[in-house]
């Protein structure tokens, strides 16, 4: 805690957008309006267009949010994706020096960045650079990621809404699959962490499931990056369920990998486009799903017999900005933004905002906001705890208890 520097605030959004990232943006803005702007400490709230690009480039690309009325902010909050625009830039030392330069030019004393662990790292470096240069600026990281892979957090804003989409999609798709039979593979986002794919298990509507995959409600099989993927076991699993039921619904993370940690996707893909982070592109392409479908078709076609009906859907970008959110997610995303503004007003020198679950009693889920050091969240990725997985091809009741309160009420369906 220390005396509050007087100047302007900058806020930006980074990485893959979510359905509730604008809730966090609005949370910061309204928190500042009622706090540091009202007290005269902050003169202007400046939105950075396309994240740090908006402050790093000459002249800047900034939008004044200082006097934005509550009514307008409410509409923005309910709008999916990043209203300021986002960026995939992962600033290195030099880039961070440019950011600091832009901040000084605009007299930024409070820096808020909404994003994943890369964004926390940007905050950390900029914070350090400012300190080295003797320029007083306070950096706050506001969590966001559908991957749910930030350390120090029970879960992250954006995850619950995407999980709700994945659950609903598997509910509808399971009924579709049951009506016509065959094998259905659904590829879900999640490069390092399986949380989002695991949400498919909520489509079953029950906590406990059988060790025998053929006795589980759909999805019968779920594969996540945390559990080594063995192609032979996968094909045996599918064969077991399909032979017993004439159908099989499978959820699979885009980031499944073998025992050596090598991703399965690129091994099945035709092309291998690499993004700015050196990662092979897995989303926005149906290649992993199609590759798995080909493998299943090949393995399960009897000699001289008919190939089973195998279909693959890659959920792709629909799952992260679907315009119907989990209500808890929307509230919490707003809350982490407000909390960041509050920490700034309270004189904190910088932090990463966190979500802590305080009650998981059924029907009485509660959470509160905390803070962690930027360095504790930056770069690190959280993986699913071991007890969220079961039997190499399933998700446990422990995950159900963890995730169910977050996605909100689900529809109930009938059966003939």
The binding site for substrate consists of 145-147, 189-191, 254, 317-320
Taking residue 311's Cβ as centre, other Cβ atoms within 10 Å add up to 16
Cβ-Cβ contacts under 8 Å for 221 (sequence gap 6 or more)? 213, 234, 237, 238, 241, 248, 249, 250, 251, 393, 394
Q: Check residue 16 for interaction with a copy of itself (CB under 8 A).
A: yes
Q: Check residue 312 for interaction with a copy of itself (CB under 8 A).
A: yes
Q: Which of 35, 57, 63, 97 binds a copy of itself (CB under 8 A)?
A: 63
Q: How far is the CB of 32 from a copy of itself (least distance, A)?
A: 16
Q: Please, are residues 345 and 1 in contact by the beta-carbon 8 Å criterion?
A: no
Contact region for a copy of itself (CB under 8 A) — 3-11, 140-148, 284-292, 327-335? 284-292
> What is the token pair recorded at 100?
């600091």
Q: Please, are residues 361 and 176 in contact by the beta-carbon 8 Å criterion?
A: no
For 68-109, give the DSSP string.
--HHHHHHHHTS-S-TT--------HHHHHHHHHHHHHTTEE
Q: How far is the CB of 366 from a copy of itself (least distance, A)?
A: 28
Phi, psi dihedral angles at 23 (to 5 degrees): -60, -45
Q: Check residue 61 for interaction with a copy of itself (CB under 8 A).
A: no
Verify cis geometry, omega within 30 degrees of 0, for the bond prior to 219.
yes
> What is the token pair recorded at 383?
């993986």
Going 50 to 55 to 59 to 63, the CA torsion angle's sign is positive
Phi, psi dihedral angles at 35 (to 5 degrees): -105, -95
> What is the token pair recorded at 201?
């298990």
Q: How far is the CB of 1 from a copy of itself (least distance, A)?
A: 33
Between 76 and 131, name the residue whose CB sits nearer to a copy of itself: 76
Q: Check residue 70 for interaction with a copy of itself (CB under 8 A).
A: no
Q: Please count the residues of this chain forming the interface with a copy of itself, following the rule CB under 8 A.
A: 66
Between 160 and 343, name the residue whose CB sits nearer to a copy of itself: 160
Task: Identify the helix (H) or strand (E) that includes residue 359.
Answer: strand 350-361
Q: How far is the CB of 78 from a copy of itself (least distance, A)?
A: 7
Between 165 and 195, name the residue whose CB sits nearer to a copy of itself: 165
Q: Check residue 385 for interaction with a copy of itself (CB under 8 A).
A: no
Q: Check residue 308 for interaction with a copy of itself (CB under 8 A).
A: no
- Find residue 274's DSSP bridge partners: 280
Between 104 and 311, name the residue whose CB sits nearer to a copy of itself: 311
Q: Which of 31, 80, 143, 158 binds a copy of itself (CB under 8 A)?
A: 80
> What is the token pair recorded at 273?
């486009």
Between 203 and 351, name the residue whose CB sits nearer to a copy of itself: 203
**Catalytic residue set:** 147
Which residues of the chain form contacts with a copy of itself (CB under 8 A)?
13, 16-17, 19, 47, 63, 65, 72, 75-76, 78-88, 168-169, 171-173, 175-176, 178-180, 184, 270-271, 273, 281, 283-287, 289-290, 293-294, 307, 310-318, 320-324, 411-416
């Amino acid at each position: 805690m220390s005396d509050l520097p007087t100047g302007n605030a900058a806020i930006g959004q980074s990485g893959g957008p979510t359905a509730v990232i604008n809730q966090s943006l609005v949370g910061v803005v309204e928190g500042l309006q009622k706090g540091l702007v009202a007290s005269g400490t902050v003169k202007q709230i400046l939105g950075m267009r396309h994240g740090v690009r908006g402050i790093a480039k000459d002249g800047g690309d900034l939008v004044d949010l200082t006097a934005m009325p509550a009514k307008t902010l409410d509409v923005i909050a309910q709008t999916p994706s990043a209203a300021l625009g986002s960026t995939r830039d992962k600033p290195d030392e030099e880039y961070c020096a440019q950011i600091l330069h832009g901040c000084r030019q605009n007299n930024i004393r409070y820096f808020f960045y909404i994003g994943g662990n890369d964004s926390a790292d940007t905050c950390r470096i900029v914070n350090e650079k400012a300190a080295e240069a003797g320029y007083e600026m306070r950096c706050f990281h506001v969590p966001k990621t559908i991957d749910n892979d930030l350390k120090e957090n029970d879960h992250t804003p954006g995850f619950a809404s995407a999980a709700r989409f994945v659950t609903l999609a598997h509910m509808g798709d399971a009924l579709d699959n049951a009506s016509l039979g065959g094998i259905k593979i659904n590829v879900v986002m999640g490069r390092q962490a399986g949380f989002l794919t695991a949400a498919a298990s909520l489509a079953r509507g029950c906590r406990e499931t059988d060790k025998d995959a053929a006795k589980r409600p759909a999805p019968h099989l779920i594969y996540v990056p945390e559990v080594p993927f063995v192609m032979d076991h996968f094909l045996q699993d599918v064969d077991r369920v399909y032979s017993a039921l004439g159908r099989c619904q499978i959820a699979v993370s885009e980031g499944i990998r073998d025992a050596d940690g090598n991703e399965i996707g690129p091994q099945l893909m035709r092309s291998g486009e690499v993004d700015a982070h050196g990662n092979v592109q897995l989303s926005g392409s149906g290649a992993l799903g199609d590759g798995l479908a080909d493998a299943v078709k090949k393995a399960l076609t009897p000699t001289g017999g008919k190939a089973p009906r195998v279909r693959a859907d890659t959920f792709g970008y629909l799952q992260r900005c679907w315009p119907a959110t989990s209500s808890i997610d929307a509230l919490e995303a707003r809350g982490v933004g407000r909390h960041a503004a509050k920490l700034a007003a309270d004189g904190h020198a910088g932090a990463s905002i966190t979500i802590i679950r305080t009650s998981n009693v059924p029907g009485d889920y509660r959470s509160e906001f905390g803070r962690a050091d930027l360095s504790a969240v930056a770069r690190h990725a959280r993986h699913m705890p071991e007890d969220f997985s079961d039997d190499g091809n399933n998700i446990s009741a422990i995950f159900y208890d963890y995730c169910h309160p977050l996605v909100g009420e689900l529809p109930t369906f009938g059966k003939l």
